[in-house]
Amino acid sequence: MELAQRLQRIPPYPFREIAALKSKMIAEGKEPIDFGIGDPDMPTPGFVIDALYEAANDPETHPYDESGFGIPEYKEAVASFAKRRFGVDVDPDGEIQSCIGSKEALVHIIWAYIDPSDVVLVPDPAYSVYKVQTTWCGGAPFPMPLTMDNGFLPDLDAIPRSVAKAAKLMFLNYPNNPTGAVAPLEYYEKAVAFAKEYELLIVNDCAYSEVAYDGYTPCSILQVDGAKDVAIEMHSLSKTFNMTGWRVGWAMGGAEYVEALSKCKSNVDSGTFMAIQRAAIGALNRFEEWVPEMQGEYQARRDALIDGLNSLGWELEKPKAAFYVWLPVPPGYTSESFATALLRDCMVLAIPGAVYGEFGEGFVRMSLTLKGDDKVGQIQQAIANMKANLDLSW
């Protein structure tokens, strides 16, 4: 049986192949130090698990969530979080949509708006979902290069006017995966003005908004006056509360865009288990006490990795947010050949930057999420392995 053309148009999900490679090595008795997939390694906070247990024991949480947008208490908790965290007013009745994690919301907003040949402005390098799902729908992804020279922010002035006029969606993602870059509020102001000029929708992927260091506080695009006219923002509890497997998040923004997302979702899924929504309320209500602990853990790892890499000859600044280090490859290497050398010679698993797009060539991504005990010790061992086994000709 031949696969549908839409499935033939897209590549395999890259992390599926990386996970298979790692499993093969482990089966051979060679377990690498894994800086690969960005899956938080700390447990979900106990108070969230307790909230789930209590909610799951309530039979009222067992049926479908027939509200469509999420249970009222969850939307109220999201609105309260948005006000406390960003100073943003979001109406629980029409401007918030409960989601099965932010990935699902990113997919469905594309399905809601993109027809064949529609143009989508996509960062490059970027999380693969933006480009792949645009292609799935028959749309035309147009790359916005993220380079060191532009601070890994899309140069909106460099987008041809004809392309901007044709575009329906533009994706932004800050704190950024894979580069770890951040966007100041002034950049979001420029992006909102751009979207209004060209009548397009900004989809702001804000999954890493709480993974930040040294007192830095990432922005929401909704802090810009008038942003709801042209923007929807996706959030997740996955990275903030170590809840990747729970599949819970939300979208918030202009009511028109939230309604479009909800219409798409109602024809595809049946919402998030209501007990998980109640557990998410417990997480958001205790956000202020939990997040500093999470940030401190990742900051210690960030410092160990950056300091170690710089001792080998790199000259890296410490990223302000996200749990990724976007590492330029040494002279003489490509992204793939350097990632191969790290794995083969140093037992260090990193992701070739080219996986994330054309402009990811020349980099590898290293995640600060590590399995097992003594994370800083693993990082130090990785640095020692690299020092002993790599040819670093600067």
Where would I find the H helices in the chain? 5-8, 14-27, 46-56, 72-86, 101-113, 128-136, 161-166, 185-198, 238-241, 255-266, 274-285, 287-311, 335-346, 375-389
Report the candidate in 296, 280, 310 with the shortest Cα–Cα distance to residue 78.
280
Q: What is the pLDDT of residue 326?
A: 98
pLDDT digits 0-9 by tens, 54-68 = 999 999 999 999 888
Would you give the end-to-end CA distance of the chain in angstroms?
Answer: 52
Range of lowest pLDDT (16-25, 200-209, 217-226): 16-25
Kindly report the average pLDDT of the chain as a whole number. Answer: 94
Give the mean model confidence (pLDDT) for residues 31-60.
Answer: 94
CATH 1.10.1740.10 fits 46-287, yes or no: no
d(Cα 357, Cα 373) in Å, to the nearest integer?
Answer: 33
pLDDT of res. 31:
87
Q: What is the mean pLDDT of residues 112-128?
A: 97
Q: What is the mean pLDDT of residues 376-385?
A: 97
HSE of 83, CA atoms in CB hemisphere, 13 A:
11
pLDDT at 383: 98
**Which of the residue ranges 19-33, 228-242, 332-346, 350-364 would you say has the lowest mean pLDDT?**
19-33
Cis peptide before 12 (omega within 30 of 0): no
Query: 22-26, 110-114, 202-206, 294-298: which range is least confident on average?
Result: 22-26
pLDDT class of 11 with cuts at 50, 70, 90: confident
Nearest of 328, 325, 266 to residue 301 by alpha carbon: 325
Contact of 247 with 273, CB cutoff 8 Å = no
State the pTM of this model.
0.94
Q: At what angle do helices 274-285 and 46-56 cross, to 10 degrees?
A: 150
**What's residue 280's pLDDT?**
98
pLDDT digits (tens, 9 = 90+) for 65-74: 988 899 999 9
pLDDT > 90 fraction of the chain, expressed in percent and rounded: 87
Residue 26, pLDDT > 90, answer no
The average pLDDT across 144-165 equals 97
Quick: pLDDT tens for 240-281: 999 999 999 999 999 999 999 999 999 999 999 999 999 999
pLDDT for residue 231 is more than 70: yes
149's CB contacts (< 8 A; 6+ apart) are: none
Band of residue 18 on the pLDDT scale cut at 50, 70, 90:
low
Tens digits of residue pLDDT in 270-328: 999 999 999 999 999 999 999 999 999 999 999 999 999 999 999 999 999 999 999 99
pLDDT given at position 13: 63
- Going by pLDDT thresholds of 50, 70 and 90, the confidence category of residue 227 is very high
Residues 6+ apart with CB under 8 A from 299: 213, 214
Q: Which residue has the higher pLDDT, 120 or 14?
A: 120
3-state secondary structure of 108: helix
Question: Quick check: 165 and 145 in contact, CB under 8 A?
Answer: no
What residue spans define the domains of the chain? 5-44+289-389, 46-287
CATH T-level fold of 5-44+289-389: Aspartate Aminotransferase, domain 1 (3.90.1150)
Pairing outcome for strands 351-352 and 231-236: unpaired
